[in-house]
Structure 1
Amino acid sequence: MRCVRCGTELMEGDRFCPECGAKQEADQTVKDSIPTACPSCGAPITPEMRFCQQCGSPLREAAKSASSANNGSVVTESVDSVTTESMAAESWGVDSADDGKKSPTATYPAQPMPDSPELSSAMDEWSESADADAGGKRNRNIVIAVIAALVVVALVAVGIVMLVGHHGQSVETTATTTVSNPSKTEKRAKSNAKTEEKQSKDCAATPDASLSGVSASGSVLIATVDFSARACGDTAWKGKNVKISVKDSDNEVIASAVYDFTNDPVRFENGEATRKLAYTTGQYWRASDQIRTSTTTMVVQGNSPTTGFAAGDVNGAKGGAKIAESDVERYAQQALSWQLDHDRSAVSALYDTPTTQLSSKKYDMEVDGKTWKYNDIYAQYLELRAKWPRTVLAWASDYDYYTRNGYASDYYVILSGETFGSKEEGRAWCSENGFGSNDCMAIALD
């Protein structure tokens, strides 16, 4: 056996050449059995060749024939090596059939490989020669496949990034919207908190007032009052002993009372506020349905004197205390005069028609231990009218019915305004409504 590189004679079992140091095949007889010339044309060949480069004949059969000359174990190893190489080539799509025909792609059963280092080395070299022909094409296919895979991966990655970015932006937008747009309840709560904080401060200015509405609750006048004070802004007004009066178009006071807002302040928003005020009898001097709000004016005066205690609230309207008694009498007397003129036509309509008389009083008259004043007379008129809206006021001296017999007629008469077919019906009405014989009587003006 000789060195595969320099040709130096080797001893049996040498693995490396003692001359050049080249690694030797474990069993040179394996390689020596491989033909070195084409059996068809005689052209030189190498172990790596599968086909003769001169005539194109397949060299597999030559290798098989040469291997048959050796012992059985070596032949078996060579055949197995070629078979393995052929199977590898077929798995990569390499032509391996004779006469230029493509080898069938049948699956070969696995062959047990003998555990021989020499045979393994020969098979490695033979497999490398089989792979060499398809290597270039296979490498190109692999490169193309890898590039395509990388492109796909890159596109998928870009898509994921865009999707995540869009989702993140949506979440961020939603979060921002949620933060910058709180619910209506939160807005209202914050607004109320700010308003309460501002309104905890006192406003020293005295506001203006105007009458925007009137109504009645029994014999109580309910006035809806609009307050205005630019200086108050969003603060609270805690005026004490404030007299609030209502005047008609003739500048006559028709309602007046004193209110204390110390513990129940008027709360302004942008200098505006609205409150309801209650005026009891003795605090107002005109029936609610006879007040024209558009022709009224209001006066607000602080630090005003009061008489007695404040009346209680009525249906949410703040009650007040009476003003000075002298002013009450003056306003009541003016109210009686205005009422006589206002009701004159209604009284005339009762001529020759039975009606009922509910009261006849004059100033300083004593009845049942009570001395009647102007305010008492007008208060009685308002209370009766609250029950019977047709009630009218008349001055007895203006009608023959009261003067014809020469009796004193300088008193105020209150008539129910109800009409009947006879005086008997009128007397029955008095009884039905709980009046005594001295408090209600049937009359017929003529």
Structure 2
Amino acid sequence: MPCQSCGAPMGEQDKFCMRCGAARQEPARSAAADSSTVCPACGAAIDDSMRFCMHCGAELSPLPAAVASAAPVEPEPQRKRGMTKGAVAAIVAVTVAVIAIAAFGVWWFVLRDDASAQSGAVGTSLSGESSESSDSNDAGDATDSGDDDARGHASAGDKSRTAVCTVPDASLSDVRLSGTSLIASVDFESESCEDSSYSAAGVQVTIQDDGNVVAAAVYDFGDAPLEFDDGTAQADLAFTTVQYWRPYDQIDVSDASVELTEDATASGASAATVEGALGGASIADTDIERYAQLAMSWQLDHDTTAANTFYSTFTTQLSSKQYGMQVEGKTWKYRDIYEQFLQRRAKHPNALFIWSGDYPTYQENGTTDFYVILSGEGFGSAADATAWCPANGYSTDDCIAVDLQ
């Protein structure tokens, strides 16, 4: 490149000009490409008017028009930081006004109401007379009542909705017969139930008399809730012939007890309602069989005295069955034998249940191991007894005249 002082050519390694001795100076490069200010062949300085390099004679290409760069934007003078005294005063004034308005609102909605309530209470106390309340006071009273409820002072209606009605105590007040079903009127009592409802499902109701279970079934009180009034309720419950094990008129109501057991397991579906009495589902088959066997033993003892009257007179035999006997399309178990007795007794209120081996007439013909159902009707002759059978819908296979002598 040429010396910047005298224009003499300098080698790339020269530090000083060989002609004038000036120190080598690198030409200042602009932000644009170097090709716009020096010869691309020898690096000598050129300008826009040159068509050929003055140093090496190389042809120069026309230089592109310079791209104008944006002029630097003069920064705006920074505003003076801080606020004027006037602005500060305005803000303070607004803040004070807001606080004043808020304080007035609190007084209006809270303190003023309290003052009015206290004033009203004092006025009532002094005058001893009640005065009509304005609509606004009525609204306030309603609000106060709601506040009382929120504090736990619930009304009677609220108590009925929120009371936890636990399993109630029960007692037997009456029993009757409807068809072949036993209807038990049961009284319930529970302090926890108050004025609410008891609607538990799977509740076994068990009735006992002189230590024996005489009725049991599982009820769903969700179908017919017990409606309590001041802690007491009443309901009629129906028991089918496989759910009770004593004739209704032989249950001592005054001595019977009733027990309720929740979460009981039912066997099958609930029976239908009988004359408004809620039907229940049966208990386990094994329990039915056991209670039936116990009932048969009790019935044999109970009916002995009445059966002895037929030593000297005639009656009619309606059935004779053995345990395990296969007749009438089934194998007879205790539950079947006793159920048939209850069905016959529902039709013939004087029916008796005896063991054939206890009476001479059966001992003589060798049939001493049968459970026998007698109609309990007395006749002066065997002919009269025999005539009674078809008159009451029985064939000669099911009904015969008999005396126990």
TM bucket normalised to smaller: 0.5 to 0.7
Q: Which residue of 2 aligns with 1:10?
A: none
Give the whole-Å Cα distance in 2 for the aligned partners of 1:445 and 1:372: 25
Q: After superposition, where does 1:242-261 map in structure 2 within 5 Å?
A: 242-248=203-209, 250-261=210-221
* Partner of residue 187 from structure 2, selected from 195, 219, 226: 226
The reply to whether residue 338 of structure 1 matches residue 338 of structure 2 is: no
Does structure 2 retain, via aligned residues, the 8 Å contact 1:211–1:298?
Answer: yes
Does structure 2 retain, via aligned residues, the 8 Å contact 1:356–1:441?
Answer: yes
Give the whole-Å Cα distance in 2 for the aligned partners of 1:429 and 1:206: 50
Q: After superposition, where does 1:2-17 map in structure 2 within 5 Å?
A: none
Q: Which residue of 2 aligns with 1:431?
A: 390
Does structure 2 retain, via aligned residues, the 8 Å contact 1:201–1:236?
Answer: no
Does structure 1 retain, via aligned residues, the 8 Å contact 2:205–2:217?
Answer: yes
Q: Which residue of 2 aligns with 1:235?
A: 196
Give the whole-Å Cα distance in 2 for the aligned partners of 1:240 and 1:201: 19
Give the whole-Å Cα distance in 1 for the aligned partners of 2:223 and 2:329: 39
* Partner of residue 206 from structure 1, selected from 145, 160, 167: 167
Q: After superposition, where does 1:340-379 map in structure 2 within 5 Å?
A: 340-379=300-339
5+ residue gaps, structure 2: 1-131, 133-154
Distance 1:200 1:440, change over 3 A: farther
The reply to whether residue 412 of structure 1 matches residue 362 of structure 2 is: no
Does structure 1 retain, via aligned residues, the 8 Å contact 2:165–2:196?
Answer: no
Give the whole-Å Cα distance in 2 for the aligned partners of 1:411 and 1:263: 43
Larger Rg: 1
* Partner of residue 422 from structure 1, selected from 381, 387, 404: 381
Q: Please state how far the C-alpha of 1:405 moved relative to its aligned partner.
A: 2.9
Aligned pairs, number: 252
Give the whole-Å Cα distance in 2 for the aligned partners of 1:197 and 1:312: 34
Distance 1:208 1:429, change over 3 A: same
Q: Percent identity?
A: 49
Q: Which residue of 2 aligns with 1:25?
A: none
The reply to whether residue 278 of structure 1 matches residue 245 of structure 2 is: no
Q: Which residue of 1 aligns with 2:226?
A: 266
Q: Which residue of 2 aligns with 1:31?
A: none
Structure that is richer in helix per residue: 1
Give the whole-Å Cα distance in 2 for the aligned partners of 1:307 and 1:375: 15
Q: Please state how far the C-alpha of 1:318 moved relative to its aligned partner.
A: 0.5
The reply to whether residue 307 of structure 1 matches residue 267 of structure 2 is: yes
Q: Please state how far the C-alpha of 1:368 moved relative to its aligned partner.
A: 2.0
Give the whole-Å Cα distance in 2 for the aligned partners of 1:348 and 1:421: 16
Which of structure 1's runs of 4+ aligned residues deviate more than 6 A? 194-197
Give the whole-Å Cα distance in 2 for the aligned partners of 1:197 and 1:383: 49
Letter in 1 for 2:393: G
Does structure 1 retain, via aligned residues, the 8 Å contact 2:163–2:192?
Answer: no
Q: Please state how far the C-alpha of 1:269 moved relative to its aligned partner.
A: 1.3
Q: Please state how far the C-alpha of 1:200 moved relative to its aligned partner.
A: 5.1
SS of structure 2 residue aligned to 1:312: coil
User: With structure 2 as the length reference, what TM-score do the two structures score?
Assistant: 0.60
Does structure 1 retain, via aligned residues, the 8 Å contact 2:224–2:278?
Answer: no
Q: Please state how far the C-alpha of 1:201 moved relative to its aligned partner.
A: 5.0
Give the whole-Å Cα distance in 1 for the aligned partners of 2:345 and 2:156: 43
Distance 1:255 1:196, change over 3 A: farther
Q: Which residue of 2 aligns with 1:399?
A: 359
User: With structure 1 as the length reference, what TM-score do the two structures score?
Assistant: 0.55
Q: Which residue of 2 aligns with 1:46?
A: none
Letter in 2 for 1:443: V
Give the whole-Å Cα distance in 2 for the aligned partners of 1:236 and 1:353: 56
**Aligned residues: CA RMSD:** 1.8
5+ residue gaps, structure 1: 1-171, 173-193
Q: Please state how far the C-alpha of 1:411 moved relative to its aligned partner.
A: 1.4
